[in-house]
A = this chain, B = another copy of it.
């Protein structure tokens, strides 16, 4: 984190990104302890000296890999606050389903699943980083979704607490398939995945749908 706050030259940033990408693949394939710093340097096309100059240690590199991959995944999530303006009552359900599909695409890549498994396995020695990785993957997505949902609440398309609605969306749509993948279970077939997303969206709409369309809804 502290390193990020110093401005770096683009070539240096590119080098760091190449190293963390190479390191992510080696860590995921081999596990933390067996992963070889020599191989990571070789794959990234840098000397071992450069590797240590940038990251200090294997521990430091692992921590930066978790952080960099969280950033990358988060940046590729298709949650755009301004998009809520174009959603209509009739497109809301389909919009949320598409969001769910895109969300799962990002979090269910072998690299993200592998890093998540590693963060859990190594959480005893990287407690703060494992937690930051989890929070990066979960809390930040919830916050971004909540900002978009707030727009939908303002326009009367959703009702209630936008942050709760976002948290519910993530639990119902995203967490189940990710949890499955942790144990090496085969991913849902495409049809099952679509049904899972549709059911999650149905429940979000049942819990946070427009009051006007659902006046006698609970609470």
Contacts and interface: CB of A to CB of B under 8 A. Distances in A.
A124 interface: yes
Interface string A189-201: 0000000000100
A138 B213 CA distance: 34
**Looking at chain A's contact residues, is the secondary structure mostly helix, strand, loop, or mixed?**
helix
Given A117-B123, A215-B216, 8 more contacts: A123-B183, A131-B184, A134-B183, A138-B179, A179-B179, A203-B207, A206-B207, A214-B214
23 contacts: A117-B120, A117-B121, A117-B123, A120-B121, A120-B183, A121-B121, A123-B182, A123-B183, A124-B184, A138-B179, A164-B199, A168-B203, A171-B171, A203-B203, A203-B206, A203-B207, A206-B218, A207-B207, A213-B216, A214-B214, A214-B216, A214-B217, A216-B217
